[in-house]
Chain A
Amino acid sequence: MEGLIKEAYLIDKLAVSMLGVVMLMSLCGRLVTLVYVYAFQSLLLAAIAFFASYTPHSHHLIWMVYLIIIVKVIVIPYVFLRIIETLTIKKEVEPYVSQLASPLVASGLVILAYYSQQYVLQLHEGVVFSHCLSISIAVILIGFFLMITRKKAVTQMVGLMTMENGVFLCAMVLTSGMPMIIELGVSFDVLMGILIMGIFVFRIRETFASIDTSKLNSLRG
């Protein structure tokens, strides 16, 4: 375990910075910036996967590094940018919750994640990397919060991908990676999901002349 301390230390640092980057997303006012921040956050995830691959039983995580870089750092942000560019949509994020209140709520969610882990679950003893569990719960919650408080279809997709990153963080650091074939399948599904959502964004835009999802409100009751 001696050699592990350095990796564990680095992973912790990276995970915390990932949390910081996700917090930054709640501040973003422009769509394009949001996508770049997402790409950077995925890059941090890839770095975490790289260091995590040095922990026992997780050599296959090195493949995750490539997978994350290709899918989450390059392809998905590219798809997002293409959608934004082709649709020439207004570049603002348009939140339901104001730009000022969003980071406050996000910080609240981080506190909640730490609280739930330390006082409700009382996991701090005997479980490896419990720090990362709180962070991944926080990332998932903030991603969820971004999803439900933003009007644009594209921002909802970014929020969703952030949630997915939180799950990946947990899967890689805490469980030393799920079996490889599962990770591949999950990544494939995520990628397909984004492409299909992209197709629907185009269709919605054609039919509604907007991608403001608050206009999707005719089905009720």
Chain B
Amino acid sequence: MLKLLLALPLITGSLCLLCLFVKKGRAAEFLNLLSVGLCFVISILLLSDITRSGPRCDFNGFIYVDTLGGFFLCLTLMVSLAVSIYSISYMRQAVEKVEVDKHLCHYYLLLNLFVFTMMMVTTTGNLGVIWISIEGTTLVSAFLVGFYNERNSLEAAWKYLIICTVGITFALFGTVLFYYASLHIPFELRSTLNWFEMTRFADRLDPRLTKLAFVFILLGYGTKAGLAPMHTWLPDAHSQAPTPMSALLSGVLLKCSFYGILRFYIIASKCLGTAYLNNLLLTFGIISLVIATFFILIQKDIKRLLAYSSLENMGIIAAGVGFGGILGVYGALFHILNHALVKSLMFFVGGSLAVKYHTKSMKDIRGAIGIMPITGTGLLLGSFALAGVPPFNMFMSEIAILTAGFSSGKVLVSCIFLVSLVIVFAGILRHTTAMAFNPPPQGVERGEAGTWAILACLLLLGPVVFLGVCIPDFLDNILNQSVSIIIGEKVSWTKESLTLMK
């Protein structure tokens, strides 16, 4: 099942290449939709199997999926599915009219490769392969960022490629140092970079080297995860990529990279304890949060606004792990899911609006509710969720993280966290309510985005509303198991303490 899952995007990719030769763009569209849909179903089955019967291991540990990896795998494929649906509407109008088939086939080929590299990140147990796959995501998605081949998109793609490759080089150095830290352990025990074997002898690693190694890992993968101050590529890449790609970059790519940090965090915390690591994560998280807050207030471009909001949310997630404790880590993982759902929704809505009004400037997008009733409603509900308004899912995870913050005794940091959230709340709603309710400009006709685009938005809107009201048992189970992998003790029924708070 696992091998089929990994082979599917590659097969579809080569079929897309075939479509390129026979010039059938539409065929590539539906092949892609079919394959990603199938992958999503398989990953759900796989995850439910893993939660019941334990991790899957194959190819001498090169493929290793536990609940934590499975959670990220499902997340990747869920967003990819929504993106595939949305792409059908969006890409047809976005590519040039002259060579539609060629561009569509290129796009779907790259999309499949991109999904494949992200799946590799989440399904491997080998820290070296994680590095290779994350570097692979950069290489593939650089083409997607520069897809339109214009001045701005090329600039964004070059920055993205260079900054992330430098970052990832630091991460490679960190990986090497982790290996170096195990040098004094007998060769037979340590001749591996397998994550689960390294966790076994983690307490015997050289602590000084592990500290240094983790700093490099955090700098390296943090660059790709969009943590400030290494985030400078993020707003450019997110705003210049085709909109479905922005959703994929923001929704899952940042998280895949954070997953890399988490894997090392688990090893390092066994060696060093959590205090040092949590402080590091907390520092980067809060810096990201505060920087993003200012940029959200002054943004003029809708996609850049969403990009800075991703920066803010990655800050929240890093801070969640940094506050530590069961509730903090649980909140961070839950926030990863919530942010992926909401941010994809917002990018889809924003993309449809930008196409309708022929501009990305928020000043000129007005009266969305009247002109595009469904998309406009999506914009409002999505931005409520993004701002953390109570009945929506992101409120739940933010309150969990905030509680963890106050109960960990870091009152000052928690207060900064809280104030930033309030400012972001005001900033986002100020922008989006203006876009929804201001009187519409002349000359924009009433009319919805394509059917597929609306379908994608509705599919995401469902869980956004639902998860705010209740957390289903199976999700709670998955999150609890993932938390116990990260903090190393048995955890169950965390959602009850969360509902009690509410």
Contacts and interface: CB of A to CB of B under 8 A. Distances in A.
Interface of A: 56-57, 121-123, 126-128, 133, 136, 140, 144, 147, 153, 156, 160, 163-164, 166-167, 170-171, 174-175, 178-179, 181-182, 185-186, 188-189, 192-193, 196-197, 200, 203-204, 207-208, 213, 216-219, 221
Contact of A221 (B136, B184, B295): B295
Nearest to B308: A221
A177 to B, nearest CB: 9
Interface in B235-272: 235-236, 239-240
Contacts of A166: 173
B236 A127 contact: no
Interface residues of B, number: 54
Interface of A is mostly: helix
B115 interface: no
Given A160-B165, A207-B151, A200 B173 contact: no
Nearest to A144: B166
Contact of B158 (A178, A189, A200): A200
A203 to B, nearest CB: 6
A189 B135 contact: yes
Interface of B: 62, 126, 128-129, 131-132, 135-136, 138-139, 142-143, 146, 149-152, 154-159, 161-162, 165-166, 169-170, 172-173, 175-177, 179-180, 183-184, 187, 191-193, 206, 208-209, 212, 235-236, 239-240, 295, 298-299, 304
Highest count of chain B CB atoms <10 Å: which of A127, A188, A192: A127
Contacts of B192: 179
B187 A57 contact: yes
Contacts of B138: 193
Contacts of A221: 295, 298-299, 304
B240 A197 contact: no
B180 A182 contact: no
Nearest to B233: A219
Given A147-B166, A182-B193, A216 B158 contact: yes
A185 B169 CA distance: 14
Nearest to A157: B162
19 contacts: A127-B206, A128-B183, A140-B173, A153-B158, A167-B169, A170-B173, A174-B180, A178-B128, A178-B193, A181-B62, A192-B139, A193-B135, A193-B161, A196-B142, A200-B161, A208-B151, A216-B159, A219-B155, A219-B235
B50 to A, nearest CB: 25
Residue from A56, A126, A147, A196 having most chain B Cβ neighbours under 10 A: A196
Contacts of B126: 182
A81 to B, nearest CB: 20
A196 B161 contact: yes
A42 B347 CA distance: 44
A186 B154 contact: no
